[in-house]
Structures are given as structure tokens and as C-alpha cells.
Copies of this chain bind each other. A is one copy, B any other.
Amino acid sequence: MSDAFALMNVIGLLAFAIVGSLKGAEADLDLFGVAVLGVLTALGGGIVRDTLVGRVPLALRATTDVLVVLLGVALALVLIRRFGDLREHPLVVLPDAVGLAAFAATGASVGYEAGLTPFGIVVLATLTAVGGGSLCDLLLTRVPVVLREDFYATPAVVGGVVFWIAVSIAIPVGTATLGCAGAALVLRLLALRRGWRLPTV
């Protein structure tokens, strides 16, 4: 894994942990609930990804990511007392976009290594990127935001497609992973800047 990509992953874990914790605090959960939502937002997508390809989730087998996530939860507890709900602030929204891109890329590459079909690769990229946040929405009994008029899952889908096209034309997996992350990130930032939405039926 290249250094650039490892950095994106850490930024994403921090951002997702903060977003999840803020969501839990806003829903009046207790301390345990807030921590669960932070951890689940950051690690849930990867846990779903690993479970689907038959691996024991990395989050339960390795410690580094977990420490980053717990740091994110602690940070959120400090931030919320000083600044309130920062989920719309660029300092949260931009790292969150980085995480979306990084997680889509790990999902695509894990799916590829597990021998999935193109459809499977795109599904895994998307679930890894939006699965954690969606599980949190479900725990709070809300319809996952990604299903409703928001251009959030689409960059992950497009990232998965980019990855699959890249490996189909014999581009090395490492490069394809970066291409996936790059495409998802650019698309998410454009969507944020221009207020893109998908049409309803």
C-alpha cells in the first residue's frame, strides 16, 4: 500500500469516527452509544466487506486502525463540547470525502483479490465506503442518507467501475486502487461544490 493511500486511510478513519460520534451525540445517546456509533461508522464498512469475502474482519485482528478510530471518538467528545455539531464544517466534510474515496478503494481491491465479478467489486467498493454510516443510520432508525437524494454513494460506485476498467486493461492493481480513490474523491468534491443530487423516479 503506497504512503499516499495509507495517509488517505488514516484521514478517513478519523473523519468517519468523528462524524459517527457527532451523529450519536446529536441523537442523545449515552457515552457508550456515542462511542459505538463512532467506531461503527469508521470500521463497519470494512467489517461488512471482510465478512462478505469470508475473512475475519481486519478491525478485529489488527490494532492500528482501531487506535486511530478511538482517537477520533475522543477528539469528537472534545470538539462537541467546544463547537457543537461540526458535521457540515469543511474540516469534517473534506476529510470525510477522503475517507469515502480510500474506503471505496480498499473495498474494490479486496473484492478483486477475492475473485469477485465486476458487479461484486462495485458492490464491495460501495458497501465498504457507505456501509458503516448506513449501519449507524439503521441503529438510529433512520433511512440511510445514501438512499435519498444525496450524491454520496455514487462516487464510490464510479470508483468501483474505474477500478474494474483499469484491471480489465491490465493496469496493475496498485495503480487501479489509486485510480479508484482518485475518481471517487474528485467526484465527491465536485458533488459537494455544485450541490449535485440524483433524480428521484
Instruction: Flag if A32 contacts B139 (CB, 8 Å).
Output: no
Q: Verify if A54 is at the interface (C-beta below 8 Å from B).
A: yes
Contacting residues, chain B, for A54 (C-beta < 8 A): 54-56
- What sequence of 0s and 1s flags, for each residue 23-45 of chain A, a beta carbon within 8 Å of any chain B beta carbon? 01101111111101100000000
Given contacts A52-B56, A56-B53, A117-B62, contact A153 B32 (CB under 8 A): yes
Q: Verify if A60 is at the interface (C-beta below 8 Å from B).
A: yes
Contacting residues, chain B, for A146 (C-beta < 8 A): 32-33
Q: Which of the candidate stretches A3-11, A94-102, A118-126, A186-194 sits at the interface with the other chain? A: A118-126
Q: Verify if A18 is at the interface (C-beta below 8 Å from B).
A: no
Q: Verify if A2 is at the interface (C-beta below 8 Å from B).
A: no
Q: Verify if A165 is at the interface (C-beta below 8 Å from B).
A: no
A200 to B80, CA, bound (A): 12
What 7 additional pairs, Cβ within 8 angstroms, besides A53-B56, A60-B123?
A: A29-B143, A36-B147, A51-B51, A56-B114, A66-B119, A134-B139, A138-B141
Point out residues on A near B: beta carbons under 8 Å. 24-25, 27-34, 36-37, 47, 51-57, 59-63, 66, 77, 80-81, 111, 114-120, 123-124, 134, 138-144, 146-150, 153-154, 157, 197-201
